[in-house]
Structure 1
Amino acid sequence: MKTKHIVLRNLNATTRDFFAGPGSLESAQSAPPTLQVAVDDIERKDISSLNRDPDVVAIAPVMPMNLIRPVALENVELEGTTVENAASLTASTQTAPKLTWGVQAVGADTSPFTGEGIVVSVLDSGIDATHPAFAGVEIVQKDFTGEGDGDKDGHGTHCAGTIFGRAVEDTRIGVAPGVSKALIGKVIGEQGGSSDQIADAILWAFENGANVISMSLGIDFPGFVQFFVGRGLPIELATSRALEGYRANVQLFQSLAALANARTAFAQPTVLVAAAGNESRRQTNKDWEIAVAPPAVSEGIISVAALGRGEKGYTIAPFSNTGANLSGPGVQVLSAKAGGGLVALNGTSMAAPHVSGVAALWAQKLKQSGRLTALELTARVIGNSTPDGIAAEFDPFDIGAGMVRAPQS
């Protein structure tokens, strides 16, 4: 049975071993590794021989991808504080000077950096480029779905607003409002998306100068199981095949993250940030925790859990998947609403853009000192995260290194 597979090829054979790092490449090559995403119908039995091709870096079945959907949190308690319905939160609830709580929590309001000179890419549902939050930003859009530019969902607009949005309704929503160029890849449309589109978009962002790539999306594993069931496989075999595909896609995204590190010697440094996922259900059972989902789980990608506010400090959101590298504000996050105005949403999808914004601030600081590399940027973002301010008796596996923090000097 033939199925569509992503074949990630290195078009420059002398740099095939880019996993060895930029140091090994510098002596052998004066140009960065050049990868290409191709999609072919492949028989499962042919994958092994294809893997022996020296130009092939990774092979993975095309898997369905979806947005990590915001979560409604009506009457859910976080450390004794009742969380309001997200839609009810407006800018009027913010204290003067008007800042979203997330901008304050990560220390962006007291940072001397704004993200100036840093290029950010958001791979999501697109963007409402006419929203006042993006006034003055050079927005480069590319549609990978075939539906055209724009944002019918609103998810991508909200995420972009948190990263680099300007003040709206006299409220600062953006962590890095000095970012003046954004690469917006529309990778999820009304019919969802697929892992080949995400991989293609990552390479596009690399090639167009992105320093930070933000992704609030994940693999639709149940949908892939049903794909095989629809082809006549029994549920046990369908699940096994889907697990093979899951593992191969994790390796695919790891290869792309490795490429980001390797490119540092030849092109702009890039880090990838991804939401951990919203499948946990701690409000139902405190032990009902789900691990970080792809692509965030792939090595080399910064995975982000979600924190909310409580009377005793920040606390893990009940939906937030566990095992992430670090955390960001992800409950009652106020940001740009497609069509105009502001809206508050909950999810690791809202936490990841806070981390992407902070990454832009650190990138500006490192760039000014001539020390900007992918490894250094990743180390600063994760290493400066802190458990300070998080309610006592937290589980370190839930929050990772803790709340992400912006540079303060």
Structure 2
Amino acid sequence: MTDYIVLRDKSLGRLNPGELESLRPTGGPGSFADRFGPSSHPVIEPEPEISVESLEPSDMRDLARDPTFRQKARPMPTKLIDTVGTSNAQPQGQTTWGVHAVGADDTDVDGAGVTVAVLDTGIDRDHIAFAGVNIIERDFTGTGDGDGNGHGTHCAGTIFGRNVDGLRIGVAPGVSTALIGKVLDDNGSGGSQMLFEAMQWAAIQESAHVISMSLGFDFPGLTNSLADQGWPVEIASSVALEAYRENLRMFDAIMDMIRAHSAFSGGSLVVAAAGNESRRQVHANFEVSVSVPAAAVGVVSVGAAGEGQNGLTIADFSNTNPLVCGPGVNVISAKANGGLVSFNGTSMATPHVAGVAALWWEKLQTLPIPVTSDTVRARILASSVTDPFAPGVDIPDRGAGLVSAPHLH
């Protein structure tokens, strides 16, 4: 028997056979198209349920006949999109360069009323940067709350951190409620089940407006684990590749349910790091495309920009083909156990974009338009700017450009 993560949508269990059949022609039970297709179709609030089940091949037929079944996947390790070293950046003025670059210090909104979820290594909730924030922690790793790694604390500080020693580090310091899903342990390791359960918790149960994540599916890690158990390398690679595909499909299915949930809550905008696997310092063409899950449908993938003599440049490590960019080099933010620290990485760029998303979410609520994750996403893409980039920066490397907060003037 083999363990599988199984995703069900319990809302479909309440439909009679005729209603289920009416859903099938436009994409299958419970798909996004079904929920918002012809007006004769019911609009159903999704109820995701994730479990781990030991299944034989013969069980697959019964699973396929279950009207609530959506997707299955072999559990797969996940890992932190780790920082690319620390840097010795020192504060210049009263605002970090990243906060200033995205225009967060020149806007009339601060993220008030917006709920942000950070799915990472946890948080040092006692850090002065988070004073006054209603922090709701949930540990999916089994290692307990807190942040023994520091990555999650740094990312959270960039999104909604308060001033530290007179320095503004947070893009959206008006955010008063933060959901902290610990999906990676102190070593930066986790599992896909943890991620999927955290996404369900943040988006469906808690209706987070913005979800920020900087992690990836660990294909090499699963391959090596199977090989260490005595599997031939060819078979281990094949099984790991199939698990990778299954987990991508599972991620897409959960994203589909999150989009469906937008009819009832406004939805959740998912922002994720593009990855740090490129090596342009080795060769200009040594570029790796956006990694999964940032490459999944509906996710705002983020590349890393840095300051240069003639304007912004793309970091050597930043994966190509992101949707947008954020400041990701020499980023100063909260350090676990107190103080400040500077890191580099698309992991540092991602919370800048998540913070800008929170600003836009608040801003759009003042306008006579529906405010959903789709409208926020559209505004982020439309307002991204290319002027700050130095001449010669490739379009695929920067995407739509540097994200920009709502202008004050």
Distance 1:340 1:21 in 2: 49
Aligned to 1:405: 404
The farther-off stretch of 379-388 and 201-210 is 379-388
Aligned to 1:89: 89
How many pairs does the alignment contain?
Answer: 391
2:73–2:250 Cα contact (<8 Å) kept: yes
Deviations 1:263-302 (A, max 9, x none): 1111242110110111111111111111211111111111
The farther-off stretch of 254-263 and 121-130 is 254-263
2:35–2:44 Cα contact (<8 Å) kept: no
State the AA in 1 paired with 2:145: D
The farther-off stretch of 2-11 and 128-137 is 2-11
Residues 264 and 22 of structure 1: CA distance in aligned 2, closer, same or farther (over 3 Å): farther
Deviations 1:114-142 (A, max 9, x none): 10100000000000001110111100000
1:22–1:265 Cα contact (<8 Å) kept: no
Secondary structure of the 2:365 match is helix
Deviations 1:184-229 (A, max 9, x none): 0011013511011000001110211200000011111111111221
State the AA in 2 paired with 1:379: A
1:21–1:261 Cα contact (<8 Å) kept: no
Is there any run of 5+ residues in structure 2 with no aligned partner, and where? 16-22, 24-28
Matched, 1:151 2:142: no
Question: What displacement does 1:3 show?
Answer: 3.4
Is there any run of 5+ residues in structure 1 with no aligned partner, and where? 73-84
2:287–2:319 Cα contact (<8 Å) kept: yes
Aligned to 1:62: 75
TM-score when normalising by structure 1: 0.91
Aligned to 1:210: 208
Deviations 1:121-168 (A, max 9, x none): 000000000111011110000011111111000100000000000010
Partner of residue 184 from structure 1, selected from 172, 180, 193:
180
2:11–2:44 Cα contact (<8 Å) kept: no
Aligned to 2:236: 238
The farther-off stretch of 156-165 and 254-263 is 254-263
Aligned to 1:169: 165
Deviations 1:66-97 (A, max 9, x none): 1111002xxxxxxxxxxxx61x2233xx13xx
Deviations 1:13-60 (A, max 9, x none): 148423216534986546511111111223467557634533221111
Aligned to 1:120: 116
Distance 1:389 1:350 in 2: 19
Question: What displacement does 1:173 show?
Answer: 0.4
2:273–2:350 Cα contact (<8 Å) kept: yes
Question: What displacement does 1:239 show?
Answer: 1.3
* Percentage identity across paired residues of the two chains: 49
Partner of residue 253 from structure 1, selected from 245, 251, 275:
251
Aligned to 2:52: 39
The farther-off stretch of 276-285 and 171-180 is 276-285
Residues 57 and 137 of structure 1: CA distance in aligned 2, closer, same or farther (over 3 Å): same
State the AA in 2 paired with 1:260: I
Deviations 1:342-372 (A, max 9, x none): 1000000000000000000111112233521
Aligned to 2:316: 318
What is the correspondence of 1:383-402 to structure 2 with a 5 Å cutoff? 383-402=382-401
Distance 1:90 1:44 in 2: 58
Residues 17 and 394 of structure 1: CA distance in aligned 2, closer, same or farther (over 3 Å): same
Partner of residue 133 from structure 2, selected from 134, 137, 140:
137
**Structure 1 residue ranges (4+ consecutive) displaced by more than 4 angstroms after TM superposition:** 25-31, 43-49
Secondary structure of the 2:55 match is strand
